[in-house]
Structure 1
Amino acid sequence: MEIAELWDPEPGWLNTASYGLPPRPAWEALQAALSDWRVGATSWEPWDGSTTRARESFARLIGADSENVFVGSTVSAALAPIAAALPDGAKVLTDDVEFTSNVFPWQVHADRGIEVIAVPGDDVVGRITPGIDLVAVSAVQSSTGAVLDLPAVVAASKQIGALVVIDATQAVGWHPITVDGVDALIAHSYKWLMAPRGATLGYLSPRLQERCRPSAAGWYAARDIHGSYYGPVMELDPGARRFDQSPAWFSFVGAAPALELIEEIGVETINRHNLALANEFRAGLGLEPSNSAIVSTRLPGAQEAFAAAGIRAAVRGGKLRASFHIYSTRDDVQQALSALKPLIRG
């Protein structure tokens, strides 16, 4: 089967930065699990096996060991233990358009003197100076599509001993990224990883694991899951699994085959496909090429023109945002440009 035949998008879907479309293996796995659930055909353990598969696939995608990967439901909840481990008065540096799931978890500790310093994206690396304790930024910005110079952030942070915490929700699945030099990398899987909403995966470096308290620990964080249903005896997993939240089974049932398919296709292949389409769209708008699958531009009337043409994109920060993934086509690009043609000045 050809790659393109694994999806069934209606023409004009340019909004993966909001949510991704499931590939057929993920959709079929989810339908089978829902059918079993409806009639009680199985226990929950087969569904939970998908959590292990997703964890291991995510680890391979980001170049991590699976014992340093944990699962959860949201990015903000995944960041909460890290924020709680910061000392009073710590300073956190972030982008001034950072998605709030990577801002609010730090800001809620303002009563302890935690200060969030937000600067324009182009200034982030230059502002990583003595006094900054943690850098919290996205690998790819949700609103603008700007791609972070992660090696530069890591190098600057290493010089001053600052922690590096990356929200990779808009990156993993199309943008090659590894955890080299990173202390935490968290990604929700419902966008570029094309999974159901509710499956978040994250990497925690061993040194950061030791600093954090697994304050949300429950039975699923135990070394022996099946032996930890009841009672006061607590023996947590020694690795990042002690930070697991009990998974939403069906979200991970859909996530595992989607992540494995991304591995099979290859992130580099997906990256080339996405950038080719995004840059074709940018060229049609008179914009310079970029290294992002997300195109953000201020074009008055674009939202209405897209709506009239049946094209689904988004508006973020007052700008049109179109995003291109593996199931997007050149026909989608041309349809979008045709809709916008009356608004484009030559």
Structure 2
Amino acid sequence: MNFQDLFPVLNHSTYLNTAYSGILSKPLLEWRNKHDVEYLNEGSNFRVNQATITEDLRRKLAEIYQAENIFLTPNFSFGFNTLLNGLDQNHRFLLLKEDYPSLAYPVKTLGFEFTEVDIDINLEQNIIKAIEDFKPTAFAFSMVQYISGYKLSEDFIKKIKQTYPQILLMADGTQFCGTTPFNFKQSGLDALISSGYKWLLSGFGNGFTLLSEQLIGELYQDRVNKKLPTAPFLIGKSHLDMCFEPGHLDTLNFGSLYHSLNFLQSTGFVQIEKSNQLLCQKARLEFYKRGLLPVWMTERESQSTIISLPLEEKLVQKLAGANILCSARGAGTRFSFHFYNTEDDLQKLLDVLDGKS
């Protein structure tokens, strides 16, 4: 497949910046234009005719992620804050140092007791030790670290849940969802919350929250027996619906997520993962040869699609001059590879790193 025909930005840029923002496809733009033209011409009738979009999206998310309790939220931050606001304040949180601010900040400022674990070569051992010492009731973390690209393996997450079933496992999937197949029901997670604008290529303003039955049993218990609204258009909504999905849902944004999920599903999540991992492993080996990565970063079994390199500012400016799109994050420069990237993209990057262009 010629992805340059689908994603015009690839025609003039070496796009290694999906971790910052996914890119827009021509088919999605065409759908969005059609959506708004219909709204322009139909007014209120348009909303009636588009009522199935959100339910179609729920069914698609259930199919792809094998989940039952699905809430449509505009981004990770909204979903996670809504979740935290519904928890008892006695929960004790385990966090990872330098995790995504929208994950760490609300835990710290809402008054929960917490401790943090260093992210290094011994991360998994650090987590187990912290669980044994601090005895948290909740562990909130990003599946993939936005700065370093460090990824917790799915097997390790399952092991935590099997060993410590009482701990609520809450994950930010924004740098993860869209890169690999994933079965929420079998994952051990109690919450997977994701924005859609990165690896899901859905534009801004859409995302989702998946919850386990165990976690649902702890959320907004003060509202369970309270009377729900009786307005006809709210009939059938639960107290959690009223918390996670207050007000009207945007058919443009959530329709965009539905459209992109269909595209990614037709491309094949297994094929996407294979393509991503082959290119990223090749990139890591090349970076290691140039002294830009430690050997242990090339040998980890569980790898993400994000790689951070310690580059001097002069070299970063050369990358910008070569129209190679990447991001400064933490103390490094972050490169992220998705299925539409090629070995030619990697070679262009290596040529700049080697001073050849």
TM bucket (normalised to shorter chain) is: 0.7 to 0.9
Q: 1:12 to 1:89 in 2, by over 3 A?
A: same
Aligned residues: 329
Partner of 1:320: helix, strand, or coil? strand
- Aligned partner (choices 109, 115, 118) of residue 117 of structure 1: 115
Partner of 1:342: helix, strand, or coil? coil
| Aligned-partner Cα distance in 2 for 1:327–1:35 | 30
Q: 1:309 to 1:3 in 2, by over 3 A?
A: closer
5 Å-filtered alignment, 1:77-88, equals: 77-88=78-89
Q: Which residue of 1 aligns with 2:75?
A: 74
- 1:281-314, CA deviations, whole angstroms, 9 ceiling, x for partnerless residues? 2233224546221111112133212111111110
| Aligned-partner Cα distance in 2 for 1:49–1:30 | 16
> Where do 5+ consecutive residues of structure 2 fail to align?
none
Q: Which residue of 2 aligns with 1:6?
A: 6
Contact preservation (8 Å) 2:57, 2:254: yes
Q: Does 1:97 align with 2:98?
A: yes
> Where do 5+ consecutive residues of structure 1 fail to align?
217-221
Partner of 1:92: helix, strand, or coil? strand
With normalisation by structure 2, the TM-score equals: 0.83
Please state how far the C-alpha of 1:212 moved relative to its aligned partner: 1.2
Q: 1:82 to 1:263 in 2, by over 3 A?
A: same
Please state how far the C-alpha of 1:11 moved relative to its aligned partner: 2.9
Q: Does 1:304 align with 2:309?
A: no
With normalisation by structure 1, the TM-score equals: 0.85
- Aligned partner (choices 277, 282, 285) of residue 283 of structure 1: 285
Please state how far the C-alpha of 1:241 moved relative to its aligned partner: 7.9
Counterpart of 2:67, as a letter, is: A
| Aligned-partner Cα distance in 1 for 2:242–2:272 | 30
Q: 1:6 to 1:340 in 2, by over 3 A?
A: same
Q: 1:76 to 1:197 in 2, by over 3 A?
A: same
Contact preservation (8 Å) 1:20, 1:193: yes
Partner of 2:237: helix, strand, or coil? coil
Counterpart of 1:95, as a letter, is: L
- Aligned partner (choices 163, 171, 174) of residue 168 of structure 2: 163
Q: 1:238 to 1:90 in 2, by over 3 A?
A: closer
Partner of 2:157: helix, strand, or coil? helix
| Aligned-partner Cα distance in 2 for 1:84–1:164 | 16
| Aligned-partner Cα distance in 2 for 1:284–1:198 | 36
Q: Which residue of 2 aligns with 1:329?
A: 342
| Aligned-partner Cα distance in 1 for 2:2–2:222 | 46
Q: 1:192 to 1:125 in 2, by over 3 A?
A: farther
Question: Quick check: 41-50 or 174-183, which moved more?
Answer: 41-50
- 1:218-260, CA deviations, whole angstroms, 9 ceiling, x for partnerless residues? xxxx899x8236xxxx752388686324322211121111011
Please state how far the C-alpha of 1:98 moved relative to its aligned partner: 1.0
Please report the RMSD computed on the Cα atoms of aligned residues, expressed in angstroms.
2.8
Please state how far the C-alpha of 1:37 moved relative to its aligned partner: 2.7
Q: Which residue of 1 aligns with 2:109?
A: 108
Contact preservation (8 Å) 2:173, 2:193: yes
| Aligned-partner Cα distance in 1 for 2:66–2:312 | 42
Please state how far the C-alpha of 1:319 moved relative to its aligned partner: 0.5
